[in-house]
């Protein structure tokens, strides 16, 4: 737990750069051009898109296969594990090891997807934003399942979405979201099939992330003609690097959050025996 506290102090000790402040001002200026009804509709559309994306990922065959692989990996340490909730029977070191394997795969997927978008193909650039969101949302889901939290339950689904929201906020706003989410998970839900907290995800601050991804797409479009031997090397490199860095940031924050949540629950259960 000490390592996580040290990570929090280092990660949240962030001061905005001049570039970030300039982008924030321009973003707020553009957003303020919309009236309140348009903003509300925009947030509702994004919320709906995220909920549907979560459902599609969760019900996909690839997610089912990933769940089976996760349980298979866990049985190397504990042969009696049968379902996601049983993952909590593993030690924290074992869970960290398994989570690191899941995260490494997702980072490579993000790296490859960014490289493909960097080719400048209109189709791939058009799919870049939803692909980035889907890859990173799936990363959060896999980390949650690794620590024994089944994201097919409505309560855990909302927590996973809020972890995703927190991890994709501008860095200077993440600490407040982290603290609020910590308080929320401490308030035990009456039943895992019901969620009693606020359900909104998208807001003005969160939309800065998708906006930056769209700006990346514009840059990649401009670089599509910068070719070396017929290959847009620069665009591929930038696309792959940006997406990898984004997934690295999201996975790191989500991993630390679920690891801390798991340790807090152990402490509550065993007290000083832990």
Tell which phi-psi region holds residue 81, choosing left (phi > 0), alpha (psi between -120 and 50) or beta.
beta
pLDDT score at 93: 94
Burial (CB count <10 Å: 0-12, 13-18, 19+), residue 117: buried
**Distance of CA 119 to CAs 19, 47, 236, 257, Å?**
27, 30, 6, 35
The reply to whether the predicted model has a pTM over 0.75 is: yes
pLDDT value at position 35? 82
CA angle 163, 168, 174 (to 5 degrees): 75
Count of structural domains within the chain: 1
Residue 233's domain spans which residues?
2-273
Distance separating alpha carbons of residues 112 and 107, to the nearest angstrom: 9
Which one, of 269, 44, 259, 35, lies nearest residue 146 by Cα?
259
Kindly state the tokens that stand for 143.
């980390």
* pLDDT for res 199: 67
Q: Residues in the chain with pLDDT < 70?
A: 16, 188-199, 271-274
pLDDT of residue 2: 82
């Amino acid at each position: 737990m000490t390592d996580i506290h040290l990570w929090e102090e280092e990660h949240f000790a962030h001061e905005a750069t001049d570039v970030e402040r300039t982008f924030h001002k321009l973003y707020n200026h553009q957003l303020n051009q919309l009236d309140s009804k348009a903003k509300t509709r925009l947030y509702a559309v994004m919320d709906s898109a995220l909920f549907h994306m979560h459902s599609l990922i969760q019900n996909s065959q690839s997610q089912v296969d990933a769940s089976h692989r996760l349980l298979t990996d866990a049985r190397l340490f504990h042969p009696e594990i049968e379902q996601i909730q049983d993952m909590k029977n593993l030690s924290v070191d074992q869970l960290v090891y398994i989570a690191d394997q899941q995260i490494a795969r997702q980072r490579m997927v993000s790296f490859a997807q960014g490289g493909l978008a960097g080719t400048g193909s209109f189709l791939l650039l058009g799919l870049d934003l939803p692909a980035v969101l889907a890859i990173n949302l799936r990363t959060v889901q896999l980390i949650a399942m690794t620590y024994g939290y089944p994201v097919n339950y409505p309560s855990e689904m909302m927590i996973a979405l809020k972890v995703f929201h927190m991890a994709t906020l501008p860095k200077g706003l993440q600490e407040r979201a982290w603290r609020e989410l910590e308080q929320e998970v401490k308030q035990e839900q009456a039943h895992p099939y019901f969620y009693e907290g606020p359900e909104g995800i998208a807001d003005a601050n969160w939309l800065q992330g998708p906006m930056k991804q769209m700006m990346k797409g514009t840059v990649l479009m401009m670089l599509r003609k910068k070719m070396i031997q017929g290959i847009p090397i620069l665009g591929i490199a930038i696309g792959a690097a940006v997406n990898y860095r984004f997934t690295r940031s999201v996975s790191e924050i989500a991993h630390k959050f679920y690891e801390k949540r798991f340790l807090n629950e152990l402490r509550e259960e065993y007290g000083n025996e832990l």
